[in-house]
Amino acid sequence: MASFEQDTGCINVLDFDMVPRSDSQATEIARVLVKAVNLTPYNYLKHGMNLTSLEAIFARDETS
């Protein structure tokens, strides 16, 4: 994978299962699940979002 683009204002959801350690009162991570990556509430289907985040920001500046 050459690059990983995330949109502005996106949401990433990570689920951590925490369990108590047997040797102390601390906890440790037992499992991690990636539930959602780059979720954009303003455009769930990414319709018309063909530019990278920075390209879209600069394109908006040019039209104002």
pLDDT, tens digit (0-9, with 9 covering 90-100), for 12-43: 999 999 999 888 889 999 999 999 999 999 89
63 dihedral zone (left: phi>0; alpha: psi -120 to 50; beta): alpha
Using CA atoms, how far apart are residues 39 and 6, in angstroms rounded to an integer? 9
Count of helix runs (H) and strand runs (E) in the chain: 1, 2
Does residue 21 or residue 61 have the better pLDDT? 21
Overall pTM surpassing 0.75 (yes/no): no
Residue 56 CB-density burial (10 A; 0-12 exposed, 13-18 middle, 19+ buried): middle
**pLDDT of 3 above 90:** no
